[in-house]
Amino acid sequence: MFENEYQLETLAIRAGTQRSQFHEHSEAMFLTSSFVFDSAAQAAKRFVGEEPGNIYSRFTNPTVSMFEERLAALEGAEQCVATASGMAAILATCMGLLKAGDHVVASQSIFGSTVNLFNTVMKKFGVETTFVSATDVAAWHAAVRPNTKLFFLETPSNPLTEISDIAALAAVAKQCGALLAVDNCFCTPSLQRPLDLGADIVIHSATKYLDGQGRVLGGAVLGSRKLMEGVYGFLRTTGPTMSAFNAWVFLKGLETLKLRMDAHSAGALQLAQWLEQQPNVARVFYPGLPSHPQHALAMKQQRSGGGIVAFEVKGGKEAAWRVIDNTKMLSITANLGDTRTTITHPATTTHARISPEARAAAGIGDGLLRIGVGLEAVIDIQNDLARGL
């Protein structure tokens, strides 16, 4: 098959391409809400599913299908379902695969909106969630109930880059009859393929590294054809599907995925090593550093450390804000996965809604800063940080 025959960087450029009657080289953007039929009989066959083909862009669209096939090849998945955003991907996974009375075990170190989704939306519809440590496999096992249907995690976590053992948690999930879903946003398939390690579902916020240039929102859910049936059914009925324009942007983004991820990782490692030598930095969190508590596990399940570096500045919030306010080039924004390096103070932005006690328990100190290392020269990033340090 296509997937086994070629390397990842080749698949990222060539997998999923379908040419129209015009034989275009780069994929076409099909900006059309609906599709026409040759006859009444053909329309009827399409609607009952007797004949494959497009009907309406909420159901399928050729540009979106090309993106889905390409990302499926990269993750080694049977099927990919593209969504309007990363949160739509997580919502569609939950709504497609869970029902009232089900229970979820989730890592406590996941994206803030994902925590809200489990605690408010899913709770309202009768799905309860227990949050456990990302790194404590025994805690996941202990949290399982007879009605546990889903394990949900992100690795590396945000902002502390904790590493969850995907293979170990996949084994626990299987033993308990639950599915394991991994939000692979920080690594992308270029650095980590959760399905190979035993996960059942991979989720993406394509908004981040899959685009890689901070342009559009999108998401994806990947897994077996059987599991994706429920996810796709939810999307087709309720509508948070990916637009053709955004799918086209992601197709172009994927073509440079390996080059970009290698450069993000190399830059992040260099920056993390430099930060470790700065006298006003108390601690650096980066999976590619030997000082990271799960360095060995990270290097086993990831191809490299990725582009996210966090560090604790001595002097708390005041010192951390001084670093941010003395930058001239870095973008002060909570986003990441961009060519532009971003800097965030989690305690007062992404994690501000959590109580100070819970934040302290999660290890997110007032002096913590998170850098989404972009593709600028590392020396320029260092100089920009050095002023405030």
Ligand X SMILES: *Cc1c(COP(=O)(O)O)cnc(C)c1O
Q: Which residues in this chain contact ligand X in the complex, by CB under 6 A?
A: 85-87, 111, 113-114, 154, 158, 183, 185, 205, 207-208, 217, 219
Beta bridge partners of 152: 106, 181
313 burial class (0-12, 13-18, 19+ CB within 10 angstroms)? Answer: buried
Residue 278 CB, shortest distance to ligand X, in Å, is 27
DSSP class per residue in 49-90: TSS-S--BTTT--HHHHHHHHHHHHHHT-SEEEEESSHHHHH
Cβ closest to ligand X, residue 246 vs residue 327: 246
Q: Comparing C-alpha atoms, which of 125, 379, 80, 359 is closest to residue 223?
A: 80
Cβ closest to ligand X, residue 88 vs residue 144: 88
Cβ closest to ligand X, residue 278 vs residue 333: 333
Residue 373 CB, shortest distance to ligand X, in Å, is 15
Residue 84 CB, shortest distance to ligand X, in Å, is 8
Residue 63 CB, shortest distance to ligand X, in Å, is 18
Residue 27 CB, shortest distance to ligand X, in Å, is 22
Sheet holding 79-83, edge to edge: 79-83, 219-223, 201-205, 179-183, 148-154, 103-107, 128-132
Q: What is the DSSP letter of 218?
A: -
ω into residue 159 within 30 of 0, thus cis?
yes
Cβ closest to ligand X, residue 118 vs residue 274: 118
- How many alpha carbons lie under 13 Å from residue 98 in its C-beta half-sphere? 31
Cβ closest to ligand X, residue 169 vs residue 319: 169
Q: Comparing C-alpha atoms, which of 174, 162, 227, 226 is closest to residue 198?
A: 174
CA quadruple 10, 12, 17, 22: dihedral, nearest 10:
-80
Question: What's the rounded Cα separation, in Å, for the pair 381 and 371?
Answer: 10
- How many alpha carbons lie under 13 Å from residue 179 in its C-beta half-sphere? 21
Residue 49 CB, shortest distance to ligand X, in Å, is 30
Residue 310 CB, shortest distance to ligand X, in Å, is 14
Residue 322 CB, shortest distance to ligand X, in Å, is 26
Cβ closest to ligand X, residue 87 vs residue 368: 87
Cβ closest to ligand X, residue 57 vs residue 83: 83
| Cα 72 to chain centroid, rounded | 14
Cβ closest to ligand X, residue 182 vs residue 269: 182
Cβ closest to ligand X, residue 103 vs residue 208: 208
Element (H, E) at 266: helix 257-276
Question: What's the rounded Cα separation, in Å, for the pair 364 and 388?
Answer: 20
Residue nearest to ligand X (CB): 86
> Is the Cβ–Cβ distance between 92 and 235 less than 8 Å?
yes
Residue 113 CB, shortest distance to ligand X, in Å, is 6
